[in-house]
Amino acid sequence: MKLIKSARLAAALTLFSTGAMFQPALAVTTPADQDKLRIHTGLPKKASDSLFSYTAEWRIDDGELYRTTGLSFLNSAKVDPNASPAVITKKLVTAMKDGMIQLDPNWRGINLTQPQDQAELTIANKKGYSLTTVTVRDYSNQQLRFDVGDKNFNADGVQVAIDVVLAADVEYLDGFSSKRSPLASQGEIEVVIDGSKPVQVKTDGKTTKQIEEELARQLAGAKLSEFPLYPNLSNSDTRNNKPFDNSEVQLLNLAAKSVSINVTDPAVGVLTKFKFKDDNHSVKVVEPRFMLAALGVGSGLLIGFYWFRNRKKSV
């Protein structure tokens, strides 16, 4: 009788522990505007059609990932030098909205807004969706500034990366362009964190990795990484997406409210990446089969202990 009670106790313990492990995660709806990125745009400096594109990726709560890209070609020779940068902002917003047309309305998890006559656009999640990444690719040499509202990037769990690239990587076409150089031309890249003293690096005749090494040395809290902050998109359209070049500057715990980037070298472009927390999806149990095996062994030992103790008492 005691053996039966012990077995029941062990079984109850196993069932309780298993149930505790596999309790379903409570459904939480992500509120609107929880994740956002604000982009302050400038005027292009290059007098040729130069690529500017940005890709936003988001997740339906506890569901699939979706993304869209806005792609534009900007040319300083076609823009009134006295015009407000807001005309560029409007073009970029239109490009992203055009990119979302191909998605089912139920999959469109972001809003894009531009305050009237302002040179800024905001990407923000809709209710029930969460932003995961935003990649901004600029080959037009415009001055850009980024923020996530009134918070520091690290307070919102947003990680940042700066990937210096060559414009030739997206402008070169076999058989139509002259041989591309593996080096920058002449100019500089300037990075300003929260309006502090600008970090300026000359680009003249340097590789992109050399430029990034100098930026990483001068930017507080930065590191040079040979692994991307998140996987690069890559496809046959090299005008927009290019393979990762094995180095980028990462700011993984940026205690600042804004980052400004300005490039004056026409041979250089910059990819600025933002990774959001993406924490509103199901909690997965790591290797539950091993957990169950451990519980089974523990239950067996418990039954054996009680059986041996009761047998000893009865002798």
Q: According to the model, what pLDDT value does residue 311 have? A: 59
In 3D space, the residue among 312, 301, 311, 308 whose CA is nearest the CA of residue 9 turns out to be: 301
Question: What is the biggest distance separating any 2 CA atoms in the chain, rounded to whole angstroms?
Answer: 103
Q: According to the model, what pLDDT value does residue 236 have? A: 52
203-218 tens-digit pLDDT: 999 999 999 999 999 9
Q: According to the model, what pLDDT value does residue 180 have? A: 72
Q: According to the model, what pLDDT value does residue 222 have? A: 96
Extents of the domains making up the chain: 2-22+287-314, 36-275
Q: According to the model, what pLDDT value does residue 240 have? A: 64
Q: According to the model, what pLDDT value does residue 170 have? A: 77
Burial 60-79 (b: 16+ CB within 10 A, else e): bbeeeebbbbbbbbbebeeb
pTM: 0.80
Q: According to the model, what pLDDT value does residue 81 have? A: 87
Q: According to the model, what pLDDT value does residue 62 have? A: 85
Q: Among all chains, which residue has been given the structure tokens 């519980």? A: 295
Q: According to the model, what pLDDT value does residue 77 have? A: 94
Which residues, given as ranges, of the chain have pLDDT below 50?
Answer: 2-4, 7, 9, 13-25, 173-176, 283-295
How far apart are the C-alpha atoms of 274 and 296, rounded to whole Å? 44
